[in-house]
Structure 1
Amino acid sequence: MNEKYTVIDLFSGAGGLSQGFVQAGYKLLAGIDFDDAALQTYAHNIKGAKALKEDLFNEEVAIRNIEKAISNNEVDVIIAGPPCQGFSLTGSRDINDSRNKLYVAVVHAVQHFRPKAFMIENVPGMATLYKGAVKQQIINTFEDMGYAVTVTDSPLLAADYGVPQFRKRMFFVGYRKNLGYDYFKFPEPLLDAEHYIGTADAISDLPSLVDELGSEIMDYINEPQSDYQKLMRIDSDVIFNHVGTNHTKEVKWVISQVPEGGNHKDLPPGVGESRKFNEAWTRYHSKRPSKTIDTGHRNHFHYKWNRVPTVRENARLQSFPDRFKFLGTKTQQNKQVGNAVPPLLAQAVGLKMKEHLDSIKKVSKEVANEEVKQY
Structure 2
Amino acid sequence: MGRYERLQRELENNDDNPYKIYVDVQNPDKLSLQYNFLDLFSGAGGITQGLSEAGFRPIASVEINPIASATHKRNFPNCHHFCGDIQEFKSQDWLQQIDYNPIHIVSGGPPCQGFSVAGKRDTNDPRNRLFYEFIKVVAEIKPWYIVMENVPGILTLKKGKVKQAIFDAFESIGYSASVAILESAAYKVPQIRPRAIFIANRFNLNNPYPQAQLLPEQYVSIESAISDLPEYSRIPEINHEWTRHSKEYMERIAKVPPGGSLYETYADAFKRQYPGKPSMTVKENHGGTHIHPYLNRVISAREMARLQTFPDSFIFEGSMKKAMWQIGNAVPPLLAKNIGHALIPYLNQVAANKEINTD
Normalised to the residue count of structure 1, the TM-score between the two structures is 0.81
Equivalent pair of 2:115/2:121 in contact (CA under 8 Å) = no
How far is the alpha carbon of 1:277 from its aligned partner? 4.4
Partner residue, 1:171? 197
Equivalent of residue 19 in structure 1, options 29, 46, 49: 49
Are 1:351 and 2:341 matched, yes or no? yes
Which structure's CA Rg is the greater one?
Answer: 1
Equivalent of residue 255 in structure 2, options 257, 262, 283: 257
Aligned-pair Cα RMSD in Å: 2.0
Equivalent pair of 1:242/1:313 in contact (CA under 8 Å) = yes
Equivalent of residue 201 in structure 1, options 203, 206, 224: 224
How far is the alpha carbon of 1:276 from its aligned partner? 4.0
Partner residue, 1:9? 39
Q: Partners in 1 of 2:38 and 2:148 — Cα distance?
A: 12
Equivalent pair of 1:20/1:350 in contact (CA under 8 Å) = yes
Partner residue, 1:182? 205
Q: Partners in 2 of 1:69 and 1:250 — Cα distance?
A: 58
The amino acid across from 1:302 in the alignment is H
Report the CA distance shift for 1:149/1:86 in structure 2 as closer, same or farther (over 3 A).
Answer: closer
Task: Point out 4+ residue stretches in structure 1 off by more than 6 angstroms.
Answer: none
Q: Partners in 2 of 1:64 and 1:144 — Cα distance?
A: 20
Equivalent of residue 279 in structure 2, options 287, 290, 306: 290
How far is the alpha carbon of 1:185 from its aligned partner? 2.9
The amino acid across from 2:155 in the alignment is A
Equivalent pair of 1:50/1:69 in contact (CA under 8 Å) = no
Report the CA distance shift for 1:196/1:64 in structure 2 as closer, same or farther (over 3 A).
Answer: same
How far is the alpha carbon of 1:354 from its aligned partner? 1.8
How far is the alpha carbon of 1:2 from its aligned partner? 3.1
Equivalent of residue 245 in structure 2, options 244, 247, 251: 247
Are 1:191 and 2:211 matched, yes or no? no
Q: Partners in 2 of 1:66 and 1:158 — Cα distance?
A: 33
Report the CA distance shift for 1:258/1:90 in structure 2 as closer, same or farther (over 3 A).
Answer: same
How far is the alpha carbon of 1:241 from its aligned partner? 0.8
Equivalent of residue 147 in structure 2, options 108, 112, 119: 119
Q: How many residues align?
A: 323
Partner residue, 1:83? 111
Partner residue, 1:55? 85
Query: Percent sequence identity over matched residues?
Result: 36
Q: Partners in 1 of 2:144 and 2:217 — Cα distance?
A: 37
How far is the alpha carbon of 1:352 from its aligned partner? 0.7
Partner residue, 2:5? none
Q: Partners in 2 of 1:68 and 1:255 — Cα distance?
A: 56
Equivalent pair of 2:223/2:275 in contact (CA under 8 Å) = yes
How far is the alpha carbon of 1:176 from its aligned partner? 1.1
Report the CA distance shift for 1:137/1:81 in structure 2 as closer, same or farther (over 3 A).
Answer: same
1:94-144 CA deviation, whole Å, 9 max, x = no partner?
Answer: 568553111111110111011111111001111111111111111112123
Normalised to the residue count of structure 2, the TM-score between the two structures is 0.84
Equivalent of residue 31 in structure 1, options 61, 70, 73: 61
Report the CA distance shift for 1:175/1:280 in structure 2 as closer, same or farther (over 3 A).
Answer: closer
User: Which range moves more in the overlay, 35-44 or 138-147?
Assistant: 138-147
Equivalent pair of 1:90/1:97 in contact (CA under 8 Å) = no
Q: SS at the partner of 1:185?
A: strand
Equivalent of residue 334 in structure 1, options 316, 324, 327: 324
Q: Partners in 2 of 1:247 and 1:65 — Cα distance?
A: 50
Q: SS at the partner of 1:186?
A: strand
Gaps in structure 2 of 5+ consecutive residues: 1-30
Q: Partners in 1 of 2:211 and 2:322 — Cα distance?
A: 34
Gaps in structure 1 of 5+ consecutive residues: 218-239, 265-271, 369-375
Partner residue, 1:145? 173
Q: Partners in 2 of 1:336 and 1:96 — Cα distance?
A: 29
Report the CA distance shift for 1:258/1:120 in structure 2 as closer, same or farther (over 3 A).
Answer: same
Equivalent pair of 2:92/2:141 in contact (CA under 8 Å) = no
Equivalent pair of 2:206/2:346 in contact (CA under 8 Å) = no
Equivalent pair of 1:150/1:173 in contact (CA under 8 Å) = yes
Report the CA distance shift for 1:98/1:84 in structure 2 as closer, same or farther (over 3 A).
Answer: same
Q: SS at the partner of 1:105?
A: helix
Equivalent pair of 2:209/2:342 in contact (CA under 8 Å) = yes
